[in-house]
Amino acid sequence: MILEKQERLDDLQNGYKLIQNPDYFCYGIDAVLLSWFTKVKPGEAALDLGTGPGVIPLLLKAKTQGKHFTGLEIQEDVAAMARRSIRYNQVEEDIDIVTGDIKEAVSIFGAASFHVVTSNPPYMTEHHGLVNPEAPKAIARHELLCTLEDVISQAAKLLTSNGRFYMVHRPFRLAEIMGTLMKYQLEPKRMQLVYPYVDKEPNMVLIEAVHGGNPRITVEKPLIVYKEPGVYTDDIKMIYGITE
């Protein structure tokens, strides 16, 4: 495998490596936390909407006994980079990367095709903050090509009955998230807020919703990222597999 211009090979610390290009949107802690929060049972098929370089399918492949993993990515050059990572790790039998639009996911895969759907979608609407002038990063951060409702509505149709949807997002949109989930019969079942420091406001929320589930949500203990600047808490070290 030859890396293309500007690309690098990152070690995922789980036996797999990932090709990334800093000119695009590189994965961060939100993707790691989402894959940790997600449960894929033996024999289940999982789909990651807006997979980018394919990090979530690779992380889920490493930590679960799922039968098959698929990533959907609209940008062909990013999808092609993800496919090279899949080939490099020799997991082509277990992971597919498909080029396509989230808004057309049901047309691509068919209804009720997956037991699990994950998404680390753009957090900001087109009206939130400054839009990155570099298109790939703007697409990853802002709802330029798909909205929160696009992601949730497609996830609901893609899931089997009692299938599970997992998402990481920003707490400032929590009311909108919950309302949209319930609009599409995705019942929120688990939620965990992520705080950068114990004395700061949360900046991420992890959510599990069940397609056609009964009303009842469990709010899990807060997840704190840093003890002090640059020093992870024991919980984050456990998630990353850091041993000292």
For each successive 10 residues of the chain (244 residues), what is the average pLDDT? 85 93 88 97 97 96 97 94 96 97 96 97 59 48 72 98 97 96 98 97 97 96 96 95 79
Residue 221: other Cβ atoms inside 10 A: 8
26-32 long-range contacts, CB within 8 A, separation 24+:
26/53, 27/52, 27/53, 27/55, 29/225, 29/236, 30/120, 30/168, 30/204, 31/55, 31/56, 31/59, 31/120, 31/168, 32/59, 32/239, 32/240
Helices then strands, each counted (H, E), the chain: 8, 13
Residues 215 and 187: beta-carbon distance below 8 Å: yes
In this prediction, residue 130 carries a pLDDT of 46
> What domains lie within the chain, and their CATH numbers?
8-240 (3.40.50.150)
Q: How far apart are CA 127 and CA 124, in angstroms?
A: 8
* CA 207 – CA 241 distance, rounded (Å): 22
DSSP H or E stretch at residue 83: helix 76-88
Inter-residue contact 144 to 122 (CB < 8 Å): yes
Length of the chain: 244
- Burial class (CB within 10 angstroms; exposed 0-12, middle 13-18, buried 19+) of 31: buried
Do 63 and 13 form a contact (C-beta atoms < 8 A)? no
pLDDT of 1: 62
> What tokens appear for 70 in the block?
């698929």
Please list, in sequence order, all residues whose beta carbon lies within 8 angstroms of the beta carbon of residue 135, skipping any fewer than 6 positions away: none
